[in-house]
Structure 1
Amino acid sequence: MGPPPTAYKYQWSNQQYPWISTSAPMSSSASSVSSSVAVSSSIQTNASVATSSCSALPTFFPPTSTTPFPCGSEENKVQQSDSVEEISEATLDSIEVEVQSTASLDNTVDTKEAGTEGGDITKEPKPGMRFESEDELMNYYKHYGKQCDFPVMTQRSKREKDETVKYVTVGCARGGKARNRASNVSKPRPTSKTYYKARMNVMLKDGKLCVTSVLNTHNHVLSPKKSRFFRCNREVNESVRRVLDTNDEAGIRINKSFHALVTEAGGFENVPFGEKDCHNYIDKARHLCLGKGGAQALFEYFRMMQYKNDGFFSLMELDDNDRLKSVFWADARSRGAYNYFGDVVTFDTTYLTNRYGMPFAPFVGVNHHGQSILLGAGLISSEDTESFVWLFKAWLDCMDGKTPNTIITDQDRAMKNAIAIVFPSTRHRYCLWHVLRKVPEKLGSHGQYKCGLKSKLLSCVYDSLTIEEFENS
C-alpha cells in the first residue's frame, strides 16, 4: 500500500481560464479519482473491515501531510490504490465500510487557492477585457477577490426578458451605503458596509461581456486569513456533495462527514466551506426526498386519478438523481372553471408548507358568487426562478396555453422574473394584503402613524373608487 496522498496546489488551465497567468509550467499528474464510500452487508472479496458498536465514526480518508510539496515533485503526484483502506474505528450500526479508491482531493476539496505565493496569479481587471458568459466573469472576479482578500458580490444588473445579461456591476461585498433596518433605532445593528468603491462595470457588446470601467479603491483592512470565510468563497462542490449524500443515506451524521473531509484535506485551513454549509446543503437536498416510496406513491395516486377522470392533469419534475423536485396537478373541475373565471388569478406560496419543507403553491380564482376557486396547485422544492418557471409552464400546458389577463402575487423577485418569462403579456400586480402588512414596518416609527395616519391610509386604500379619488386622497 503506497503512502497517503498529500495536499497539493491546484493548477488552473489557461485554455479554460484565459485570465489566469501561470508563473511556472504545470507538471503532469495522475488522473484523480473521487473517493467514495460503499456500505456492504457482506464481506468484500478484496478486503473487509469488521466494526463493532461504538459512538465514533470511522475516518473514511487517511490523514494527509499538511506541508505541500512542490507541484513538480514526485511526492506530490497522486497515489492511487485499488485496495481497501483499513479502518480502525467502529461505526454505530456495526456496518462494513469499503473505500473503493484513494485519490487526490481535486474532486473533493481544493486544498490551495489561486493567487498564493508560488502559484497562479489572477490578472488585475482592466477595461477592454471580454468574457464569454456571466459565470466566467464571476469566476474571474471571485479569484481576483480571493487573491486581494476582499469579498465579491453582484451590486447591480439588468437583464432582458430571456434572462440575458444586458449590463452588470460586480464589486466588493462591503461596498454601498449602510442601511439601518432595525425596528429599534436606539439599538442599530452592526454593518460591514464601508462605502467600498472597488467595482467593475461590464456591458454586453457583440454577444460578449466587455469590461467598460474598473475602480480598484480600497478603504478597509484586507483580511488574508479570513478570505476563505467570505460567502462568495464558501462552495460545496459536486464531489463533496456526492460524499455528503452517500454518508447521509447511510445514516452518518453531518459533523462526522465534515471532519472526515477536513482530515482528507489536511486541516481546516484547506477546506473552502464550513460545517454549516454542509448542513445547509443536506437540508436542501432532503427537501427533495419524500421518504422511502413517497414519490412512487404519489405517482400511483395521480395515475389512479387519471384513470377515474380523463380531465385530471399532473406533471412531476425529477432532479439529476431521480428525486422528486416539483409536482403540479389540477382536476377537471379546476380546468373547466378556468375557462370562465380565468381573467384574474392569484398565486401565493406563503400559506402552507408540508412536512418536507416543500411550499404549497395554489392558483386561485374568483367565481361569479365571489367565492374562491382552486385552479390548480403544486409543490416545489425551492422558491427560485427556475422552479417557478417550471410550475408556470406546467399550469399553462394544463390550461391549453391560455394565459390570464392579470396575476396577483406577493413581492417576490423570483416570481416576478418567472412571470416575465412565462406570462410576458399578463399584468402583474402585488397582493394588497402583503403590501399593507409592511405598512407598520415602514411607517410604524412615524410620529403621526397612530394619530390618524393609519386610518387615513386604510380609508384611501379601501374607500377610493376611482384613480382620481385615490390620487387626491
Structure 2
Amino acid sequence: MSSSNSADNISKWEERVCINSGRKFFKPKVSGSITPAVGMFFKSFDEAFAFYQRYALAAGFSARKNTSWKNGDGLVKIRYIVCSKEGFHVSKEIDSGSVENSKKIVRRNRGSKRVGCNAHVKLILENNNMYKIYYFEEEHNHIFVEDEDIHFLPAARSIDYVKESFISGLSAINIGPVKAFNIMKTMYGGFGEVGASKVDCKNYRRDLNLYIGEYDAEMVVRRLIRKKECCPGFTCDYVIGEDRRLKGLFWADEQSKKNYTVFGDIFGFDATYKSNKYDLVFVPFTGIDNHYRNVTFGGALLGSETADSYRWLLRCFVNAFGSEPKVVVTDQDAAMKRAIKDVLSRSRHRLCMWHIWEKLKTKVGPVLSANTDFNTRMTHVVWNDTISPEDFETEWHSIMSTFGLENHEWLKDMYDLRFDWIPAYYHGEDLAGLMRTTSRCESENYFFGQICNPRCTLVEFFTHFETAMDIQRHEHRRNDHDTRYIESKPWSDFVLEKQASEIYTKNNF
C-alpha cells in the first residue's frame, strides 16, 4: 500500500499499483462506523442500500443497485450494490429509417462515466428475512470526487419536501424552477449547499405536470367541489362537452359575494386573456371598490366565446350573487351582447368607449384623425359627463356637417348605438360614470398576467388566481388602513373640505 501523492487527497484514499499490469487501484479511507463489512445484517435491502450510499458519499463516489438472483420460488435471495462506474458504456445503433440506406447509425460519442469498476457489495437474504453482507470489494479502479465537488454526484442531490414546497410556492407567483434554484442558491449560501441542481428542479416541475396530465381539469373541479362542501359561501359550477372535455367553469367565494353586495352596481368583463395551456379563456368579473381600485367579483374559464357560453356563464353569475348589476360594460362583442340581453334583462349594457374611440381614428382616415379641431370637438361631445342628450345630438350633427361626415356609414352606426356608449345617456344610472371602458378588465388581465402564464396547467392557474386574490385583498385592507389612520393635508380652511376628507376614502379625496 502507498498513499496518494496529492497533499489534498492524502486522507481520501489509499493507492495500490499492480506489479504485473501497472494498473492503479484505490481504496477509500472512511470511518469504520459507516464502512460496510462482511457479516453485517440489515432489516431490508433499502436499508442496506441507504447505508452503502452514505459510505459512498463519504468516500467520494456514487452507488447503484445492480443484479439480483431469485430462487425457484421467485424469491429474491441475492442482491448486488455496485459503484456507479461499474461496467462499460455501449454505443446504441439506431435505424436510419431509410429503405435505400439500411445501415445502422451509431449515436455520437458523448463520453461515459463507466470505467469497469469492480467495487461492489453482495447481500444474501437469510432465513430470518434479514439481508447479510457476505462479500465486499473495497477497491476501485478510479480516483474519488473531492469533498467540495460531492454535490455534483447524483446521490448527493435530492428534491426533498422543503425544496418541493419552495418550488411550488414560488410557482404560485409565476417564478419558474430555474429562478427558484437561483434563489435557493442565495438562501443556502452557494450552489454546493442547495443539495440539488437546476436540472433536478426542472425535472421536479416536469414530473409534477406529468402527474397532473390528463386529469388536470378533473383535479381542479374536485378541488372546487371540496371547497364548496367545506365553505357554504363558496359557489362553483361547470359544464362538460360531449367529448368529456371541460367547456366552462365558474367560481366565486364568500368575500367576492360580500364585495359584490357593496360595490356591484356596475362591472365589466372581458374574454381576451388565455391563461393556460389548453387555451381556455379566463373571464374575470371586475368592479371598482371604494378606493377606486379594481375588485374581482368572480372568475370563469370558457372553452369557446359563443353566445351560449356567455348565457351559461351569466346565469351562473346571477344564481351565485342573487341579483343583476345596474350596468354591464363590455367591448362590441356580438355574442356577449346577445347573452346580456337574454340573461341580464334588468341591466343596462354599456359598450366600451375606448374601443370605439380607437376605431374612430382609423375609420375617419389619417388626415381627419390628425385634425386638432376635429379631435377637440369630438372629445368634448363624446367623453363629456355633464352635457345633456339634446346638447350631444346638436353638437354631433354639427361636427358631422362641418367635416362632411353626414353619410359616413360607421359613424352613422355609432350614432344609432349612442344610448349604449355615450355618457350623456347614462345620467339616470347611479355610479354609471365609474366605469366607461373595459380598461379596468384589461388592467385586471395585466394584473393576473404578472403571476400567470399561458403554459400553466389548470392546477397551477388556480394557485396563481388565489395568489392574485390575496394580493388584491391585501391591497384593499392596506388602503382601508391608510384611510382610517392617515389624515390628508388640508388645502384650505373650508368646512366643506374638512367634511369631505372625513367622508371620502383617502384615494378618492
Q: TM-score, length-normalised on structure 2? A: 0.34
TM-score, with structure 1 as normaliser: 0.37
Structure with the higher fraction of residues in helix conformation: 2
